[in-house]
Every structure is written in structure tokens, then in C-alpha cells.
Chains A and B, each alone.
Chain A
Amino acid sequence: MDSSVSHIKVMRSQLGRARGLGAGGSGTEHWWAERVSAATLLPLSAWFVIQIFRLKGASHDTVVKWGGKPVNATMLTALIITTFHHAGVGLQVIVDDYVHGKLHKPTRILVKAATALIGLLGVFSVIKLVISGVSRKS
């Protein structure tokens, strides 16, 4: 069987081969997005766990003050965007594996929309915390 492999002619254009894109029209971006976001989440999640230990049981005022600080707001936004990007990319693979037929595309769109919207809710909550911190000072 191995001897015949070298005789198979690859039915792909030279440009397609150079770009590394297969029949699916995409290359390894999805795989890379999953790994890079996973590695990024390691320090971001560690930071968040530490913050939770500092914040647990804190009053509303304390939490608002905490979230309004520039460094905290930056880390929170980065954590939220990376988390829901990673979740969307990961859930898409699960949908691709287990949802077949007519339901496949609607489910994929639903996952994409849900992860994007929940992530946006998080980002705008952080923006609101920052703004309320600024307006309280002035």
C-alpha cells in the first residue's frame, strides 16, 4: 500500500497548496486560535482567581471601585474577550462534531452570536464601571 502512495497526483492548484488551504477553504487558523487563546487565558485566569480572593464578600461600592481602576478594567476586558473567543472557537468544534444535517449551520450561528453577545455584555459592564468611577470623582 505504501508504494502506491507516491503515485497519487494531488488535485489542488499550486496557489492552494502554497496557502496551505484544503478542501474546507481554510487552513490551520482555527487550531491556532484555540491554542493561542488557551495560553493567553492561563495568566489572565490566575489574575482573576487572585482578585476573587481579594473581593469575596465585598460591598457594591468596593466592587465598583475595583472594576473602575484602569489596570483592573484592562485585565478584565482582556480576560472577557479572550474567554469568550476561546469558548466560541471551542464550542464550534463540539457543534461540528455532534450536530449534523440541517441543524448544523443554525447551531453554529447561535453559538457564535451567544458567545459574542455575552462577551460584549461583559465588556460594556466594565466600561460602565470605569465611567461611574470617573463621574463619582468629579
Chain B
Amino acid sequence: MQDIRKALFVGSRSDGKLIQRPMSPHLQVYRFRLSMFLSILNRITGVIATGGATLGVLWLSAAAKGPKSFDTARKVTGNPLGKLVLAGWLTSVVYHTVGGIRHLMWDSGYRFEKEQINKDGPVAVGVSAGVSVLLVAALLITCGRSGGRSKVGKAS
């Protein structure tokens, strides 16, 4: 198959010979693979995790500022929309962690064959989903039980 953009991708090697430069993956042409989705998902969840960490810092600074600011922060974290945001942050952090561990494994030379990567992809999705659901459910259930505001002094 001829791609007209190929004319723009001609370069010369350091010995002067003309060569075809490599082109970027072609999203409209490539068949969808789980690995390409998980790859970009690692970046997206990394950005979301950064946003969540910013919210975490704001929570901490609210606690440092005083009871009034902390009360405002608790209104946000106690709100259903706030809880949804927290759940999204937690899920993103979990997937980014799983993806990061896979990257560390690949960098050390393990599970980097094509078949292994394709086999591990669904496992990574399953583990992330399982851990996320477990953490979010545990937080929501125990939070609902304690009734929010009235709880004092459990954390020592």
C-alpha cells in the first residue's frame, strides 16, 4: 500500500545513502489492540492522578489553615459528586500503579515478549478493576457507617 506522506519521510543516513524514515503509528489504519489502549490509559490515568494529588494537597492545606477551611473541604469530600471524583482518582491511581509495575518489569527485561504482553493486558485490567472496586467500596461502606461528622479520635 502506498502512502502519499512517504515522500516527506525521505532522509539520508550518515553515510549519505537515502533511506525511508519511520512513520508514526497510524490510528485510523491500525487494528485496535488492548495493548495500545492500555498504553495511552497509563498516561491518562497519570494526568488524573496528578489532579487528584493536587486535591489531596488542597485538603491538607485546608487542614493546616484552620477548622473553617477544613469544614469546607469536608463538605466537598462528603458530597456525592466529591465522592465520585475521589473514586475516579483512586481508580486512576490503582491503574497507574499496575501499569507502572508492568513498566518496571519490562525495564528489567521480564514479560516483554509480544505474547506475554498480550496475555498480561487482561490480567492488568482485572487486577486494577478488582482492587479499585474493593478500595472504593470499603471506603464508602465504612464512611457511611461512621456517619461522617460525629466521628472523633479513631486515628491516633
Contact: A55 with B155, CB < 8 Å?
yes
Contact: A8 with B63, CB < 8 Å?
no
Chain A facing B: main interface SS: helix
Total chain B interface residues with beta-carbon distance under 8 A: 44
Residue B39 lies at the interface, judged by CB distance under 8 Å to chain A: no
Given known contacts A53-B139, A125-B61, A60 and B53 CB-to-CB distance under 8 angstroms = no
Binding site for B on A (CB under 8 A): 4, 7-9, 11, 35, 38-39, 42, 45, 49, 51-64, 66-67, 76, 80, 83-84, 87, 90-91, 94, 115, 118-119, 121-122, 124-126, 128-129, 132
Contact: A63 with B70, CB < 8 Å?
yes
- Residues on the A chain within 8 Å of B107, using CB: 35
Kindly list the 8 A-B residue pairs having the minimum CB-CB distance in the complex, ordered from nearest.
A128-B64, A125-B64, A122-B57, A54-B155, A125-B61, A87-B50, A60-B70, A125-B60
Binding site for A on B (CB under 8 A): 13-15, 17, 43, 46-47, 49-50, 53-54, 56-58, 60-61, 63-67, 70-71, 93, 97, 100-101, 103-104, 107, 135, 138-139, 142-143, 146-149, 151-155
Interface contacts (Cβ under 8 Å), in number, total 108
Contact: B57 with A118, CB < 8 Å?
yes
